[in-house]
Structure 1
Amino acid sequence: MTGITIIGTGNMGSAIAGVAAKGGTPVQVVARDLDKAQALAAQVGGTAGVIGDALTGDVVVLAVPYPALADLARELGAQLEGKVVVDITNPVDFATFDSLAVPADGSAAAELAELLPASSVVKAFNTNFAATLATGELGGRPTTVVIAGDDDAKAALAAIVTAAGLAVADGGSLKRARELEAFGFLQLVLAVREQIGWTGGFAVHA
């Protein structure tokens, strides 16, 4: 069975680890703080490690803020070769909260793919709030995770998500990460402006 490694123990990392465990996927939690990694691993019945330990998952989720993405990719580049690497970031310019901190024709995921040419980078989870991943539902329907990337890489992540009872929407190639990041940014703005709750968000209905 395909395993998953979650790097990061924040709200999103915890929620994604919970989704994977719910679907029966073996989970490894990795962080710089071993105590935090062990605490989350215990919650989901997984294993724990620190940055630098062997990454056991075929799918690796980088559940870190955008500013930490590049340094982490460079640090772990060799270990991520041949793996599906999931970028969940929304590269918001938090100084102004009025734009994305990437070029207009680019994305955080595209930057990550350039840093990890031997990995299969996909964009996912950035349009989901942690609460809707944890509950598995939004508006009375299963939470939908939109995934952009290469077909085989998307399929590996989609299998983990759907095994937990969540839905998946295919967002196309990794080029669509730009649109997903803009969408995620809009959703964050609405939440900060209290137009929607952090337990809400946009739903995808077939």
Structure 2
Amino acid sequence: MATSISIIGIGSMATALAERALAAGNAVQIIGRDLAKTQELVAALDGATVGTFGDTPAGDLVILAVPYSSAADVVGQYGDALSGKVIVDVTNPVAPDMTGLVTPEGSSGAQETAKAAPAGAHVVKAFNTVFGHVLTADAAKGRSLDVFIAGDDAQAKASVSAFVESLGLRPLDAGPLAIARALEYAGLLEISLMNHGLASTSFALSATAVG
């Protein structure tokens, strides 16, 4: 079943998700602060539409494909325009020295973003362990990469899972939003592996049954 999504951001992750979503028949709206660059990206995509930053997003799912440092601020600026939306947080809140997270002790980037969200919006952590270049490189290979999902609302997670499946990926429910902290550390682990000599950067974490 097709999903209507709005992607806030115009970087590599936004582009990769938009390309796969459009190829799967989903409706995609791209929103960026820089209208000219947003229009340029949409022109390079086949079928996406341009949204105006700050207006109510058209999609039922709103994907935050922005740096973590601006995620809560973006959500706060939208305010009640995000009420009733499922907000998909794909960020990895890693410290500049790549040795830890910049979130408060015991919290996660997704939880901090949820604090800025209006009542009626549901934040779901997803895609932070499948980087944009992996989504792009894998698009033609047909592998079912795993996307770990964390959130407190069952229907919101079901909506995100359906979207993940539409991309040819496998959604795995990791638990409540508090588990997002573990997923963000997993993202940090991947970054650290890439920074310390792993032979290939085209990899993603997966769960494989061995018994």
TM-score after normalising by structure 1: 0.92
Unaligned runs of 5+ in 1: none
Q: Select which of 159, 164, 172 maps to 1:169.
A: 172
The verdict on how the C-alpha distance between 1:138 and 1:55 changes in structure 2, with shifts beyond 3 A counting, is same
Is the 8 Å Cα contact of residues 82 and 118 (structure 2) preserved in structure 1?
A: no
Count residues with an aligned counterpart. Answer: 205
- Aligned residues: percent identity? 43
CA deviation profile, 1:133-191 (whole Å, cap 9, x unmatched): 22446998321111111211111111112112111111111111011001111111111
Query: Residue 61 of structure 2 aligns with which residue?
Result: 59
Is the 8 Å Cα contact of residues 60 and 85 (structure 1) preserved in structure 2?
A: yes
Q: Secondary structure at the match of 1:170?
A: strand
Letter in 2 for 1:30: I
Query: What RMSD over aligned residues (CA atoms) do the two structures have, in Å?
Result: 1.9
1:1-206 paired onto structure 2 within 5 Å: 2-42=3-43, 43-94=45-96, 96-118=97-119, 119-136=121-138, 141-149=143-151, 150-206=153-209
Letter in 2 for 1:156: S
Distance 1:202 1:140 in 2: 16
Q: Secondary structure at the match of 1:78?
A: helix
TM-score after normalising by structure 2: 0.90
Moved more, 179-188 or 126-135: 126-135
CA deviation profile, 1:58-117 (whole Å, cap 9, x unmatched): 1000100111112111101211111000111111111x2211101231101111111114
Unaligned runs of 5+ in 2: none
Is the 8 Å Cα contact of residues 72 and 113 (structure 2) preserved in structure 1?
A: yes
